[in-house]
Amino acid sequence: MDIKTLPQPFFHGLQRLLIACLVMTSLAASAQSDYYARTDSTKAYWKLQTDAASQKTLIRFFNHRHEPVYQETLSGRYVKLTPRNIRLFDQMLQRLVTNQLVSAQVKSHELVASSTNVPRQAVSTYLERPVSTSFILDYPEKPAGLSPLRSDVALSNIGRLKIHTLNIREEPILVTLQDDQGRYVYKEKTSLLNFNRTLNLTQLPEGRFRLEVDGSQKDHTYQLIIQDNPRSYQLRAIR
């Protein structure tokens, strides 16, 4: 499983909770245990590990089969294990293992394309409410080096491309998927804090495609490669 991103949505209220609740300070501020693990009644669990040498803290969530379902790395920071933060991590874990996931809240959007026709533009429609596919932890009032636009994508082996962006300044961004001739297969503008889309790639022809998430100050670009016989999908970040 690719755990670069967690392609799982949660209730709308959790979005603000995740952004507002965790309190983090610098690694040099005080000492704490460098490792912490906690389980729940389902035998799923989460781990929090601080590495003083690399100045990073890693937060990971696992299901009952010990498979990682989400992780996030905090550079130069640690998370204080206050009762409130432990409770928050427990809530995140519970929502993961109770399967409040994409299948229940996000529909896939079919891309209009075939191997015999030129791909036509397919514009996805907004959901009734935005959903979050990533745990976004608290950031300082003046965050050092925090990007105003974060993009996380995940590609399944059955041709589902899940896109999640965190747009801290809620500025207009443009999400596009183009073929190797520069023709749009998918195009959508949004200014949501949390933006999520699931695209069905199964009807696209074999070839190379370019996925772009463009903001006013930051952009993310990925290359998508689709091959036939057998059908396969590959995705890599260009920048």
What token pair was written down for 39? Answer: 């389980």
3-state secondary structure of 200: strand
Q: Per the domain annotation, does 6 fall within a domain? A: no
3-state secondary structure of 186: strand
Q: Per the domain annotation, does 166 fall within a domain? A: yes
Check pLDDT > 50 for residue 21.
no
Mean pLDDT of 100-111: 40
59 and 120 housed in the same domain: no
Residue 48, beta-bridge partner list? 36, 59
Q: Per the domain annotation, does 204 fall within a domain? A: yes
Instruction: Return the pLDDT at 211.
Output: 94
121 and 206 housed in the same domain: yes
230 and 125 housed in the same domain: yes
Instruction: Return the pLDDT at 39.
Output: 55
* CATH number, domain with residue 165: 2.60.40
Contact predicate 86/38, CB 8 Å: yes
Instruction: Return the pLDDT at 56.
Output: 78
Cα-based distances in Å from 166 to 7, 77, 193, 208: 13, 20, 6, 26
Listing from the earlier edge strand, what are the strands of the sheet with 184-190?
Answer: 184-190, 173-179, 207-214, 219-227, 232-237
- Of 27-31, 131-135, 176-180, the least confident: 131-135
Mean pLDDT of 165-169: 85
Instruction: Return the pLDDT at 9.
Output: 46
Check pLDDT > 80 for residue 10.
no
Whether the full predicted model's pTM is greater than 0.85, yes or no, is no
Q: Per the domain annotation, does 1 fall within a domain? A: no
179 and 231 housed in the same domain: yes
116 and 201 housed in the same domain: yes
Of the residues 61, 81, 102, which one is the last residue of a structural domain?
Answer: 102
Check pLDDT > 80 for residue 220.
yes
- Give the domain extent around 167: 107-237
Instruction: Return the pLDDT at 98.
Output: 62
Mean pLDDT of 71-80: 73
Residue 191 neighbours by CB distance under 10 Å:
12
3-state secondary structure of 7: coil
Q: Could you tell me what percent of the chain has a pLDDT over 90?
A: 15
Specify the pairing of strand 24-26 against strand 77-79: antiparallel
55 and 145 housed in the same domain: no
3-state secondary structure of 30: coil
Of the residues 102, 118, 146, which one is the last residue of a structural domain?
Answer: 102
Q: Per the domain annotation, does 7 fall within a domain? A: no
139 and 218 housed in the same domain: yes
135 and 215 housed in the same domain: yes
The total number of structural domains that make up the chain: 2
126 and 78 housed in the same domain: no
Q: Per the domain annotation, does 4 fall within a domain? A: no
Report which DSSP code applies to 103. H
Of the residues 82, 102, 122, which one is the last residue of a structural domain?
Answer: 102
Residue 208 neighbours by CB distance under 10 Å:
13
Q: Per the domain annotation, does 3 fall within a domain? A: no
Instruction: Return the pLDDT at 226.
Output: 93
114 and 208 housed in the same domain: yes
Q: Per the domain annotation, does 5 fall within a domain? A: no
116 and 212 housed in the same domain: yes
116 and 227 housed in the same domain: yes
